[in-house]
Amino acid sequence: MTLPSAPVTITVRRRVRPGRETDYEAWLQRLTQGAAEAFPGYLGAEFHRPGADGIYRNVFRFDTPEQLEAFEGSEFRARMLAEAAPIFAADAAWERMTGLEFWFDAPPGTRLPQPSPHRMALVLIAVVFALVLILNLVLGPVMSGWPLALRLLVLVTIQIGLMTYVIMPSLTPLIARFIYPKISTH
């Protein structure tokens, strides 16, 4: 006998660029409307405007973890996050919950888990190495007669742009479990 899955809740804490609050709230409405229309099992969302800390707190609920995963891996969500990237002041803190803990905020001063610096370094070394190698193989012959400083400027500009807007936004959700340490319950 298979037991039914419990509903799952995602709490998202996010800073928004000053002056972009209205844009962010309009984006949230489009995001939730699209989720309600296109994703079975979407149970709704709550939005909490920032207090003194300047952080928006949003709560999203899905009927099962599988339905949440379908939403998280969707092209719709990726497109919406890319659209709103200029609005965000920082990366969001995401928490997945399957019980009643989403009703409770951590006490002031509680620290959320920080990414492992060693694992972040490994990921960045791999990404930067691969990107520099590919860019040099592809663009090196084209820029062979250019002054070194100009070649470096072009390569670094392309590399930073790709990492900021293409590679890391796509890669980060896939490697989040590797980057963030497990939280001990002891």
Q: What is the pLDDT of residues 27-39, one digit of tens each?
A: 999 999 999 999 9
pTM confidence score: 0.51
pLDDT at 23 over 90: yes
Kind and range of the H or E run holding 152: helix 148-162
Could you tell me how many helices (H) and strands (E) the chain has, helices first?
A: 6, 4
Which residues are within 8 A (CB) of 48 and not within 5 positions of it... i.e. 6 or more apart?
56, 57, 58, 59
> Quick one: pLDDT at residue 50?
85
pLDDT band at residue 66, thresholds of 50, 70 and 90?
confident
DSSP category for residue 165: I
Q: In angstroms, rounded to a whole number, what is the distance separating the alpha carbons of residues 160 and 59?
A: 32
pLDDT tens sequence across 88-107 = 888 787 776 654 444 444 44
- Own/partner pairs, 52-57, CB within 8 angstroms, 24+ separation: 54/15, 55/13, 55/14, 55/15, 56/12, 56/13, 56/14, 56/15, 56/16, 56/24, 57/11, 57/12, 57/13, 57/105
Q: Which domains does the chain have, with CATH numbers?
A: 8-103 (3.30.70.100), 117-179 (no CATH)
